[in-house]
Every structure is written in C-alpha cells, then in structure tokens.
C-alpha cells in the first residue's frame, strides 16, 4: 500500500472535516493509497499541538512555508481563509506537492487563473473541495440527468440560505469572522455560499452563458476585530441572480445570510421535459423525483431514500435503509481523489473546473455593479 503523506494547513471547521475524512477513508474504501496524517499547520503553537493530538497528526508547523518545504509531505491541504489560497497553492505547486484546496478556489478569476497555470505547469494532482457533488443523492441526480431521464432541461433553481450575520453588533474580520471581511473572503455570500450552488449547477447542467444579478450589503459598517475601528463592510450580504445556461435553460440562484430561521438551507430543483428532481441539504439522503412518464394513477413525486447498495457510494457504508451524513461527502471526495491519483484520471473538480465557478461568480459581482447582463468569461 502506497502512503500519501498529508500536510494540512488550518485547523478550523474544514481542517476537522478533512482530518476526519483522511482517518476514515481507508476503513471504508479499498484504495491503493493510505493517508498518513504527517503534519498539521496553524499559527498558534499550543492550539495546533492540541489539534494534532486530537486528530493523530505526527508533527506540527506554525508557518505554512516550512510545511511546504518539507520532503516528507506529498499533498498539501489548504483549509484557511480564501485570501491565502492562491499564495499557498502556487508555492505548493512549485514545490511539487499535490494540492487539495478548499473552495472557493480563489478571491477572483484572475487569481484562479494563476493557480491553474501553476498546478498545470508543475503537473501536480489538484482538486477543490466542492463536496456537495459527493452527497450520494446529488451524485444520483447527476446519474439520472446523464441517463437522459429528465430530457431537455428547462429550469435550474438553487438557493443557499443562512441567518447568522443579521445582528448589526457582529464585528467583522479576524478568526471566526473573516467571512465578513472582504480582504480575507474576496466576496460575501457569492463566493461563500452561491459558489457551492454554481459548482453543482455547472456539473449537473453544463456551462452558464450569462448572468444578471443584484446584491445587497444590509449592514454597511461593522467594527473590525483586528483594528478595533468601525469600518466599511465590503462583502455582499445577499445575492439574487438570473442566469442562462448554454443548453438554453433558465436559472435562478439566491444566497443570503439574512434569511431568519435558515441555517444552511441549500436546495436545488431541476425541471426537465420528462422529469424533475429536487434536493435539500437539510434532508440530504433523499432525492425527490417526479417522472411524467409514470402511469397516471400512480404518478407523483417520489422521495428516494438514497441508501441502497446500488446508489452512488452507498455500497461502502452500512446496510440498505441506513443513511449517512454531511461528513461522508468529504470521505467520498478523498476516496475519489486517491483513486484519481492511482489511475491518472483526476477527480473533479480540478482547479481548472473550479475556475469556471470563479468566472461565474466574477460575472455575478460585475452584473450587480453594472446592473446589466454580463457574459461569463471562458476559462481558457
């Protein structure tokens, strides 16, 4: 069994989700590679030591440059705020490391292009953690669409709603609140939440030709945690987008952190000529499916419990009828990445795939300023 020695940077939410995936993947998937938790890196020496003890990392670093310079690291996993993705990824590619980078790929498409050029020049395996592709019900949706069951697609409708930034007293910036600081996040809900919807949409329904969007920043000023001063808020708090896909279908996308009562409501619905599908993150193991070709007296929405051995990924888990959850999407992503490294057929989304999402996000943010339809730039 070959070893893949991981160097993880950032021990927050995603640092934990990924560490859990590396630890479990070999127990459930038959792979050529074994993940070795070689080193964890974060700035606070005591906290990173404690993290390494909890998750079983063999060593720690407090400077990501030192981690990348180490000969005993094969793959670098980037789990830090968005403004650090490009610098770390480009340095890691130059050092010949494989790279697993959190989403969004970058702060904007221009930065993303430099990242794609770096990994492609170095020829290193690379992937971006758009993990919702690997929720079995979403993967099943992809299979149904690719089989042609929906027929011609007319509509794509997705939203990602949260409610955690409504208070005007919430500061911006620093650990935990970097998502509200445009310098660390690049954008607000567009890059943070809508990017997930866009990635899934591009995967399920192909490229997006043009967009027309509006964004709003409801709270214009917030105290900055690092400077202590009240500063302008540069992120978008909410985003509503109309889009036209290259296949002629029409889309609406919405993301906000101001939908009181919603914590992480990611839903998507696709309406085709023959059939429709609907998926909801809060009920992630189910896919709702309506097929007009069913016999009239039994025609209706079916709620498919995606837990059978012939459903995507499910044969690796328990017995039919027993569901899995959010964390498993990361385990599936690691399994696919390792299979891609072993076979030479890279798992998606690669940096190049994720750049397409970045181009859509850029067009959305541009349209919100120009108040016009904006074409999505080509990746090439």
Ligand X SMILES: NC(=O)c1ccc[n+]([C@@H]2O[C@H](COP(=O)([O-])OP(=O)(O)OC[C@H]3O[C@@H](n4cnc5c(N)ncnc54)[C@H](O)[C@@H]3O)[C@@H](O)[C@H]2O)c1
Binding site for ligand X (CB under 6 A): 9-15, 41-43, 64, 79-82, 84, 102-103, 129, 131, 175-176, 192
Longest Cα–Cα distance in the chain:
66
28: left (phi over 0), alpha (psi -120 to 50) or beta: alpha
Nearest to ligand X of 198, 275 (CB atom): 198
Min dist CB 287 to ligand X, Å, is: 19
The residue number with the shortest CB distance to ligand X is: 12
Are the C-beta atoms of residues 18 and 101 closer than 8 Å to each other? no
Scanning the chain, the segments in alpha helix (DSSP H) are 13-28, 45-55, 64-69, 85-94, 109-122, 136-146, 182-185, 189, 195-205, 327-343, 351-370
Min dist CB 274 to ligand X, Å, is: 32
User: How far is CA 268 from its chain centroid?
Assistant: 15
Nearest to ligand X of 10, 346 (CB atom): 10
Min dist CB 80 to ligand X, Å, is: 4
Min dist CB 213 to ligand X, Å, is: 20
DSSP letters spanning 195-225: HHHHHHHHHHH--EEEEEEEEE-SS-EEEBT
Cα angle: 144, vertex 145, 146; to 5 degrees: 95
Nearest to ligand X of 100, 118 (CB atom): 100
Are the C-beta atoms of residues 82 and 186 closer than 8 Å to each other? yes
Min dist CB 299 to ligand X, Å, is: 36
Nearest to ligand X of 79, 359 (CB atom): 79
Min dist CB 78 to ligand X, Å, is: 8
Nearest to ligand X of 12, 26 (CB atom): 12
Nearest to ligand X of 52, 275 (CB atom): 52
Nearest to ligand X of 56, 248 (CB atom): 56
Are the C-beta atoms of residues 142 and 151 closer than 8 Å to each other? no
On the CB side of 201, how many CA atoms lie within 13 Å of its CA?
Answer: 37
The tokens for 215 are 């964004």
Min dist CB 271 to ligand X, Å, is: 26
The rounded distance, in Å, linking the Cα atoms of 160 and 360 is 16
């Amino acid at each position: 069994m070959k070893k893949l020695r991981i160097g993880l940077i950032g021990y927050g939410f995603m640092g934990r989700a990924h560490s859990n995936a590396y630890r479990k993947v070999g127990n459930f998937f038959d792979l050529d590679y074994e993940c070795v938790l070689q080193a964890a890196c974060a700035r606070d020496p005591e906290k990173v030591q404690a993290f390494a003890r909890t998750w079983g990392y063999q060593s720690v670093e407090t400077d990501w440059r030192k981690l990348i310079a180490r000969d005993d690291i094969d793959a670098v996993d980037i789990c830090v705020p968005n403004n650090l993705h490009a610098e770390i990824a480009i340095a890691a590619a130059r050092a010949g490391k494989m790279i697993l980078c959190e989403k969004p790929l970058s702060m904007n498409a221009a930065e993303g292009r430099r990242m794609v050029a770096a990994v492609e020049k170095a020829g290193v395996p690379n992937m971006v953690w758009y993990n919702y592709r690997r929720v079995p019900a979403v993967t099943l949706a992809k299979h149904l669409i690719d089989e042609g069951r929906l027929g011609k697609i007319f509509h794509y409708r997705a939203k990602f709603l949260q409610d955690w930034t409504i208070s005007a007293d919430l500061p911006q910036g620093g650990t935990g609140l970097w998502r509200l600081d445009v310098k660390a996040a690049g954008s607000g809900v567009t890059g943070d939440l809508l990017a997930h919807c866009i990635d899934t949409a591009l995967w399920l329904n192909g490229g997006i030709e043009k967009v027309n969007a509006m964004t709003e920043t409801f709270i214009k000023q917030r105290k900055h945690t690092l400077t202590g001063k009240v500063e302008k808020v540069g992120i978008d708090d909410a985003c509503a987008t109309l889009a036209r896909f290259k296949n002629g279908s029409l889309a609406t996308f919405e993301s906000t952190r101001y939908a009181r009562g919603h914590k992480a409501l990611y839903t998507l619905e696709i309406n085709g000529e023959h059939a429709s599908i609907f998926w909801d993150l809060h009920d992630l193991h189910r896919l709702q499916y309506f097929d007009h070709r069913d016999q009239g007296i039994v025609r209706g929405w079916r709620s498919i419990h995606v837990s059978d051995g012939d459903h995507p990924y499910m044969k690796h888990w328990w017995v039919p009828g027993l569901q899995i959850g959010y964390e498993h999407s990361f385990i599936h992503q690691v399994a696919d990445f390792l299979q891609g490294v072993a076979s030479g057929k890279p798992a998606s989304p690669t940096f190049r795939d994720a750049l397409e999402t970045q181009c859509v996000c850029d067009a959305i943010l541009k349209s919100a300023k120009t108040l016009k339809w904006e074409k999505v730039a080509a990746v090439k």
